[in-house]
């Protein structure tokens, strides 16, 4: 007797949808176009929520914001050619901040690849340096395996973006659907557990240190190691400084937090790092904005570096005890070996610095101070998820918002992408709909993805945009003021009286304008009441307010202005 095996043939697009569903994808951000017409046709009948952004860059940022807010993989889709190239900034941004996104791009049919066909771009070639990995799918048979691998790569080890390029005729080809049970990648085996000998050496250094400091970065957030960091800090005890990406590791009201280090960090954080004799660095990459002049960075300290990416160890600074592994797993092991020890002199010094060098700004009852707006927001909406744009707005938020928990701050740290915050806020709000999501924007940054107001209106996404509007590219102006003799070249965005509140209304959202400090609190409360569409609050702030303290580029972090 011959038994015929039952073979199930499906189209490439159906395999894509099934594979995405298997990965637990609930939402995608994207824009259709010629090469992804078959895919969007399949999506038309799918339960996956589809957010149609108005620019592909915003789709990538929204997927990134979604990923960071939820800890899941964000997914974006764009068509071939310009659709795909518009994703590039968003992918580079996710790469620099190690954010898990999977980008699906359309491609021209296989027989036309390389012929400069209409809307053809070599997107796999273009994105090699800015993706953790990418794929050009050659046959429909490969789709289930590639999608499974892509999600695995994006969400494990040091996280990052993965791009899958799908030629149009591959998506319409039939295949036998046999989803793989597991991923087999001989060249990809992230180290999770730290080496016991190294962890032991780290505990010995901690035991003998007189002036220890914990230095926490984005890797702590990504690994979910925040509780372990706080436990370790309380156990040693040691104060905690954070990078921009690490904010939220330890609550802002915790006695051991010193806030952010670096160019616009707190003085006491920078002093502590400069004077410490042991720097316990966790999930950081010693970026120049955090370290300042490398030769003067933690000059008296032994350095422990815990990171999941071996290539980060020894890249910028020499390390005494490297530990490759997942921060949470390594810290759990390390905590078992650490004993408490009072270091009164160091603790007193830290507390004295904290009192003496408090973050401060000149208060005003007549002009709007951005710091005041952020402090008020932090009081009124302490649990809100905050996204930022890039520039002064970002630094003021890092300094004055009292972050309580990890993933509360979503910001473009590595690439420094203006225009990131608003679409990222949309993605975050879709991911955590029950939370208040606020994008602190500058007027310059907001203009870079302002079209997404239409998306927020269409899909009734209740994001708030608080524009700290100084009618300048503020951070550039600040540098021109300090280092270029106040020659304000190309930074004035007065635009003959643009009204952001009316722009928001014209899109179908809600707009407020605030000019006086007395209106701040009430307007924030009004804005927070609206949750079925975007709210833009245009705060007309003091135009030449600067971000201080500040370490000039190339200086040591304890040489601060302001």
Which of the residues are catalytic?
Answer: 56, 118-119, 168, 475
Give the separation between CA 511 and CA 450, rounded to whole angstroms.
13
Nearer to another protein, 222 or 274 (CB): 222
Minimum CB separation from another protein for residue 140, in Å?
17
**CB of 100 within 8 A of CB of 67?**
yes
Minimum CB separation from another protein for residue 125, in Å?
7
Minimum CB separation from another protein for residue 353, in Å?
35
Minimum CB separation from another protein for residue 181, in Å?
20
Nearer to another protein, 133 or 328 (CB): 133
Give the separation between CA 334 and CA 321, rounded to whole angstroms.
13
**CB of 13 within 8 A of CB of 41?**
yes
**CB of 468 within 8 A of CB of 391?**
no
Nearer to another protein, 189 or 355 (CB): 189
Nearer to another protein, 311 or 492 (CB): 311
Helix (H, G, I), strand (E, B) or coil at 54: coil
Minimum CB separation from another protein for residue 150, in Å?
10
At 61, which helix (H) or strand (E)? helix 56-70
Q: Which residues of 380-390 are buried (b: 16+ CB within 10 A; e: fewer)?
A: ebbebbbbbbb
Which positions touch another protein (CB under 8 A)? 124-125, 128-129, 132-133, 136, 153, 185-189, 309-311, 313-315
Sequence-distant (6+) residues with CB within 8 A of 288 are 294, 316
**CB of 494 within 8 A of CB of 477?**
no
Give the separation between CA 414 and CA 422, rounded to whole angstroms.
17
How many angstroms separate the Cα of 429 from the Cα of each of 10, 156, 260? Answer: 34, 24, 26
Q: Which of 440, 396, 385, 386 is nearest to 418 (CA)?
A: 440
CB atoms within 10 A of CB 515: 12
Minimum CB separation from another protein for residue 309, in Å?
7
Nearer to another protein, 24 or 187 (CB): 187
Nearer to another protein, 124 or 399 (CB): 124
Report CA Rg, the chain: 25
Nearer to another protein, 189 or 529 (CB): 189
For the chain, the first-to-last Cα distance in angstroms comes to 88
Minimum CB separation from another protein for residue 480, in Å?
30
**CB of 125 within 8 A of CB of 187?**
no
Helix and strand element counts for the chain (H, E): 23, 20
Q: Do the bridges between strand 409-410 and strand 385-388 make them parallel or antiparallel, or are there none, so unpaired?
A: parallel
């Amino acid at each position: 007797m011959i038994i015929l095996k039952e073979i199930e043939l499906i189209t490439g697009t159906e395999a894509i949808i099934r594979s995405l569903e298997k990965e637990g994808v609930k939402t995608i951000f994207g824009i259709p176009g010629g090469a992804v017409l078959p895919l969007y046709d399949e999506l038309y009948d799918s339960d996956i929520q589809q957010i149609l952004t108005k620019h592909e860059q915003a789709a990538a940022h929204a997927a990134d914001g979604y990923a960071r807010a939820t800890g899941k993989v964000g997914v974006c889709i764009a068509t071939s050619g310009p659709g795909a190239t518009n994703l590039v900034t968003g992918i580079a941004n996710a790469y620099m901040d190690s954010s898990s996104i999977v980008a699906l791009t359309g491609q021209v049919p296989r027989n036309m690849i390389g012929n400069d066909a209409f809307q053809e771009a070599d997107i796999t070639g273009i994105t090699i340096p800015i993706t953790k990995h990418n794929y050009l799918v050659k046959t429909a048979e490969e789709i289930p395996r590639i999608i499974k691998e892509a999600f695995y790569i994006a969400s494990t080890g040091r996280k990052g973006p993965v791009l899958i390029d799908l030629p149009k005729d591959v998506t319409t080809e039939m295949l036998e659907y046999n989803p793989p049970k597991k991923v087999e990648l001989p060249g990809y085996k992230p180290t999770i557990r730290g080496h016991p000998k190294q962890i032991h050496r780290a505990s010995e250094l901690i035991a003998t240190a007189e002036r220890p400091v914990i230095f926490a970065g984005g890797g702590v957030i990504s690994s979910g190691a925040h509780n372990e960091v706080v436990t370790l800090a309380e156990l040693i005890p040691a104060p905690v400084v954070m990078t921009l990406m690490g904010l939220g590791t330890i609550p802002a009201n915790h006695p051991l937090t010193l806030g952010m280090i670096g160019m616009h960090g707190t003085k006491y954080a920078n002093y502590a790092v400069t004077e410490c004799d042991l720097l316990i660095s966790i999930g950081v990459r010693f970026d120049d904005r955090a370290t300042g002049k490398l030769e003067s960075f933690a000059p008296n300290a032994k350095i422990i570096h815990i990171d999941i990416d071996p290539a980060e160890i020894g890249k910028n600074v020499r390390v005494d005890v490297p530990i490759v592994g997942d921060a949470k797993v390594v810290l759990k092991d390390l905590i078992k070996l650490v004993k408490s020890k009072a270091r009164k002199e160091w603790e007193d010094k830290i507390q004295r610095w904290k009192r003496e060098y408090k973050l401060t700004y000149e208060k005003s009852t007549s002009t709007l101070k951005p710091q005041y707006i952020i402090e008020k927001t932090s009081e009124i909406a302490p649990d809100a998820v905050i996204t930022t744009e890039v520039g002064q707005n970002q630094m003021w938020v890092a300094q004055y918002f009292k972050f309580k928990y990890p993933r509360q701050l979503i910001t473009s740290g590595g690439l420094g992408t203006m225009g990131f915050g608003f679409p990222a806020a949309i993605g975050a709000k879709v991911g955590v709909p029950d939370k208040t999501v606020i994008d602190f924007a500058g007027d310059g940054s907001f203009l870079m993805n302002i079209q997404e107001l239409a998306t927020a209106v269409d899909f009734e996404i209740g994001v708030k945009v608080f524009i700290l509007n100084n009618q300048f590219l503020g951070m550039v102006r600040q540098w021109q003021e300090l280092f270029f003799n106040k020659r304000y070249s190309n930074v004035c965005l007065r635009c003959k009286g643009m009204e952001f509140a009316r722009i928001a209304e014209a899109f179908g959202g809600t707009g407020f304008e605030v000019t006086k400090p007395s209106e701040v609190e009430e307007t924030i409360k009004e804005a927070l009441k609206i949750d079925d569409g975007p709210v833009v609050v245009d705060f007309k702030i003091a135009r030449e307010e600067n971000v201080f303290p500040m370490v000039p580029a190339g200086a040591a972090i304890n040489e601060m202005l302001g």
